[in-house]
Amino acid sequence: MVKELLVKIGLIYKQLTSRDFKVLNAIEKGMRRYEYVPLELIEKYAKMPEEHVVLVLSKLHRLKLVKRKTIAGYKSYRLTYLGLDMLALKNLVDRNVLVAIGDRIGIGKESEIFKGIAPGDKPVIVKFLRIGRTSFRQTRRVRSWADKPILDWYKQSKIAAEREYKALRELYRVGALVPAPIAYSRHVVVAEYINGVELYRKPQLPDPEKVFWSILDTVRIAYRDVGIIHGDLSEYNILVSIDDWKPYIIDWPQYHYRDEPMSDYYLRRDVEYIVRFFHKNYRVRVSLEDALDYVRGEDEEG
Ligand SMILES: Nc1ncnc2c1ncn2[C@@H]1O[C@H](COP(=O)(O)OP(=O)(O)O)[C@@H](O)[C@H]1O
Ligand SMILES: [Mg+2]
């Protein structure tokens, strides 16, 4: 495990002043044009005297918020993931989306998830997308939307967060069981906290068949009303609420559109995981074809 991951994001955030954020913002702006942003450009964007910028940069470097490189004799800087995290947090706090960030509650293939508090003491999750970070576990499935190698981690993670937020918004609007989306900034998505247990832990469900069909309802709404397919559906991306045993489908950034060429394949694979899991662990016996018919709505049209 990489050390940086164990750093308390909230503790670092608290050490930063508005001057520090000015410099972080300036580097971010420069990164639209440069991988490493020359010091001179940082000074220009930050509108701060050189001595101040240099002092701030050494603090940011010490906190591991920036990486340094000398390119053709020019001192240059770029944000690290942690640096980008700080900018996203600042934006969410300034917009009054977040009041506090707490402990890390999950770490997935391409994200870290923290618990947070929204105004009114509302518990939320703060999901930091970490696409293309080599220290992370290999992705199980290929992301068709992120195939372009020119996109670096920074852009990919921002695209992923925007995708996830927008998918959640569409799904939530039409009544699918997904965490309510709250906001996103850069590579970070804030959503409703579900007080639940991951399905892979095989919780004792009072009515497994009901949970099974409820999952298919969400898959069906996604497919028919929103026109998307999850693409990574499995017992790992389903949270069952321990208050009412409702299953929430999470983790949407890799979704596919219904009208893509491979969509039948993705839909079948998603549904097959669920059918198999419920068959094996809960003795729910529904055939894949019946489940697919239900999702596609062919039971009604026939
Ligand atoms: N809305 C949520 N409420 C509570 N816990 C969540 C929520 N979203 C994610 N988690 C926790 O974080 C873990 C990883 O989240 P997920 O969105 O699947 O990211 P990844 O892409 O990293 O797999 C989940 O297995 C779950 O434990
Ligand atoms: Mg997941």
Number of neighbouring beta carbons within 10 Å of residue 40: 14
Q: What is the pLDDT of residue 151?
A: 52
Find the 84 Cα to ligand 1 centroid distance in Å. 20
Q: What is the pLDDT of residue 58?
A: 98
Mean pLDDT of the 216-235 span = 98
Whether residue 3 is predicted with pLDDT greater than 70 in this model: the reply is no
One-letter identity of residue 46:
A
Contact assessment for residue 75 and residue 38, using Cβ atoms and an 8 Å cutoff: yes
Mean pLDDT of the 209-219 span = 98
Q: How confident is the model at residue 264 (pLDDT cuts 50, 70, 90)?
A: very high
* Alpha-carbon gap, residue 168 to 122, rounded angstroms: 19
Q: How confident is the model at residue 2 (pLDDT cuts 50, 70, 90)?
A: very low
> Higher model confidence: residue 4 or residue 20?
20
Closest C-alpha residue for ligand 1 atom 22:
108
Question: What pLDDT, in 10s, does the model give residues 97-154?
Answer: 999 999 999 887 789 999 999 999 999 999 999 987 654 444 444 444 444 444 588 8
Q: What is the pLDDT of residue 142?
A: 46
- Could you tell me which CATH class the domain 3-83 is placed in? mainly alpha
Reported as type and span, the H/E element at residue 38 is strand 37-38
* Alpha-carbon gap, residue 232 to 246, rounded angstroms: 19
Domain boundaries, the chain: 3-83, 96-192, 196-301
Site of tokens 């009412």: 244
Question: What pLDDT, in 10s, does the model give residues 49-96?
Answer: 999 999 999 999 999 999 999 999 999 999 999 999 999 999 999 999
Flag whether the pTM goes above 0.75: yes
Query: Would you call 244 a catalytic residue per the annotation?
Result: no
Find the 188 Cα to ligand 2 centroid distance in Å. 15
- Using a 6 Å CB cutoff, which residues line ligand 1? 105-106, 108-111, 113, 125, 127, 179, 191-194, 198, 237, 239, 250-251
**Yes or no: is domain 196-301 CATH 3.40.50.300?**
no
**Yes or no: is domain 96-192 CATH 3.30.200.20?**
yes
Find the 295 Cα to ligand 2 centroid distance in Å. 22
Average per-residue pLDDT for the chain: 91
Mean pLDDT of the 231-238 span = 97
Mean pLDDT of the 152-172 span = 95
Number of neighbouring beta carbons within 10 Å of residue 17: 9
Cα distances (angstroms) measured from residue 40 to each of 48, 62, 156, 271: 11, 20, 27, 54
Closest C-alpha residue for ligand 1 atom 20:
108
Q: What is the pLDDT of residue 7?
A: 61
